[in-house]
């Protein structure tokens, strides 16, 4: 049994200027819209929103993953939130136009982004 019907992890990773990240794509506004919409429908006890660091899809933010469904969303804007809450959280029908459905592509992109970050860390430690 899950403590919540849905647990939504939303990236709010901040990176240096010019480096793609969810915060530079407006994740704070998306998170606020999500919390507001969940409250509007009195779903706070069913949907837990957790702000997290990078989900590894930095070029396509804001990104989120919804559990227990394991649905990955990219490019979620505040204007998308009412549809997301109504469709996915109220009707159990994920929003296909925002979903990342190619799992091999998703994994490759996350691993690629992870390697970029590791290379940046290595470069900083060399200085």
Q: CA-to-CA distance for 47 and 38, rounded, in angstroms?
A: 7
Which pLDDT score is estimated for 71? 97
pTM of the model: 0.88
Structural domain spans, the chain: 6-126
Per-residue pLDDT of 58-113, as tens digits, reads 888 899 999 999 999 999 999 999 999 999 999 999 999 999 999 999 999 999 98
**pLDDT tens digits, 15-61:** 777 777 788 788 999 999 999 999 999 999 999 999 999 898 888 88
pLDDT tier, 3 (very low <50, low <70, confident <90, very high otherwise): confident
| Ranges assigned E (strand) in the chain | 6-11, 47-52, 64-67, 71-73
The CATH code of the domain at 6-126 is 3.40.30.10
Q: Which two tokens stand for residue 96?
A: 């296909």
- CA-based nearest residue to 74, from 82, 65, 87: 65
Show the tokens assigned to 92.
């159990």
Is 20:61 a contact under the CB 8 Å cutoff? yes
127 pLDDT higher than 70: no
Its sign, for the CA torsion 48, 84, 38, 110, is positive
| Average pLDDT along the chain | 91
As a whole-number percent, the residues of the chain with pLDDT over 90 amount to 68
| Residue 68 · residue 7 · CB < 8 Å | yes
């Amino acid at each position: 049994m899950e403590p919540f019907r849905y647990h939504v992890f939303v990236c709010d990773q901040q990176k240096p200027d010019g480096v793609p990240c969810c915060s530079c794509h407006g994740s704070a506004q998306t998170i606020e819209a999500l919390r507001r919409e969940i409250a509007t429908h009195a779903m706070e006890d069913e949907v837990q929103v957790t702000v997290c660091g990078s989900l590894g899809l930095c070029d396509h933010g804001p990104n989120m993953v919804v559990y227990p469904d394991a649905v990955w969303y990219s490019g979620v804007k505040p204007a998308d939130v009412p549809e997301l809450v109504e469709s996915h959280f109220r009707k159990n029908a994920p929003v296909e136009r925002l979903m990342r459905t190619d799992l091999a592509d998703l994994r490759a992109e996350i691993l690629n982004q992870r390697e970029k970050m590791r290379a940046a860390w290595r470069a900083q430690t060399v200085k």
